Amino acid sequence: MIPAAFDYEVAESVEHALGLLAADPDAKVLAGGHSLVPALKLRIARPSKLVDIGRLSDLAYVRDAGSQVAIGALTRHVDVQGDPLLQEHCPIVSMTAGKVGDPQVRHRGTIGGSVAHGDPASDLPSVMRALDAEFVIVGAGGERTVGAGDFFTGVFQTAVGHGELLTEIRVPKLGDTTGWSYLKYHRRAQDWATVGVAAIVHRDNGTATSASVSLTNMGGTPLRASAVEAAIAAGSSPAEAAVHAADDTEPSTDTAASAEFRRHLARVLTERALTQARA
């Protein structure tokens, strides 16, 4: 389909983008366009104006930030995938960026667009939830930092309000005693996850002492598998803990899978991810 008519402005700076957004309550930010343009073509999104932030190169970076790694919102998936700092300190992020879509999507799509879109089937939001990442949001009222637990608020909804920009994502550096895994089941190589599981495991001599586990596409937002985490903390094996992976989830039934199959996938992938992360 052809999108409904819209105006188009190129932002020259973050301040310029904020001004353009403030002037039009129906304007939308355009980053890589790989989620927004399909939505425009289907007329699911009908903004009056697109504010293109694609040329704000000062928002494309990966930096050492002490105990964290800071990633600019406009960093493309391919650059996240290949970044040496992330590969050294938080490899679950770079590895997962390499699982997003196909090379064309990874060369255009941005990490900021991926999390701001709030799609429960997306991979990086789930990884951010497991990592307890932080999100820096700027708007007319200044800058605020939101934790991953408060950032994803619903299907295609996040804490980024109208007139605001997500500028940075901060992830923790993982130490030598922390293992990780992100597994996704999808029917074709470039597809979104039917179900995905991100696991961060703190281990001692091959035994998991605590874990953060997040589920992709098992509800309206990335969901922490709290019952699995509690079981690991109580000394359960990955197999014992994974039995609880679908507790308190609300997976949908669609053309890719039934809700019941998604629950099954969550249990299978959680056991595998915990085992991989513990090794």
Ligand X SMILES: Cc1cc2nc3c(=O)[nH]c(=O)nc-3n(C[C@H](O)[C@H](O)[C@H](O)COP(=O)(O)OP(=O)(O)OC[C@H]3O[C@@H](n4cnc5c(N)ncnc54)[C@H](O)[C@@H]3O)c2cc1C
Nearer to ligand X, 123 or 229 (CB): 123
Element (H, E) at 182: strand 178-185
Q: CB-wise, 33 or 172, nearer to ligand X?
A: 33
Instruction: Please name the residue ranges forming H helices in the chain.
Output: 14-22, 36-41, 77-82, 84-89, 91-97, 103-108, 111-117, 123-131, 148-151, 226-233, 238-242, 259-278
Does residue 101 bind ligand X (CB under 6 A)?
A: yes
Residue 168, interface with ligand X (CB under 6 A)?
no
DSSP structure class, residue 161: -
Site for ligand X in 1-40 (CB under 6 A): 28-36, 38
Contacting ligand X within 193-252 (CB under 6 A): none
Taking the complex as a whole, the smallest distance from the CB of residue 267 to ligand X amounts, in Å, to 22
Of 259, 237, 238, nearest to 249 (Cα)? 259
DSSP 8-state secondary structure symbol assigned to residue 192: P
Cα–Cα distances (Å) from 57 to 28, 73, 110, 170, 260, in that order, read 19, 10, 12, 18, 44
Binder among 20, 62, 73, 211 for ligand X (CB under 6 A):
73
- In the bound complex, what is the minimum distance in angstroms from residue 111's beta carbon to ligand X? 8
Least spacing, CB of residue 52 vs ligand X, in Å: 9
Q: Copy the structure tokens of residue 2.
A: 């052809």
130 binds ligand X (CB under 6 A): no
What residues contact residue 67 under an 8 Å CB cut-off, 6+ apart? 172, 173
Contacting ligand X within 36-65 (CB under 6 A): 36, 38
Residue from 65, 105, 230, 259 binding ligand X (CB under 6 A): 105
Judged by CB under 6 A, the residue of 94, 110, 214, 270 near ligand X is 110
* H or E stretch covering 147: strand 142-147
State which residue, 72 or 238, has the beta carbon closest to ligand X: 72
Where along the sequence are the contacts to ligand X (CB under 6 A)? 28-36, 38, 73, 100-101, 105, 108-110, 112-114, 116-117, 122-124, 160, 165-166, 190-192
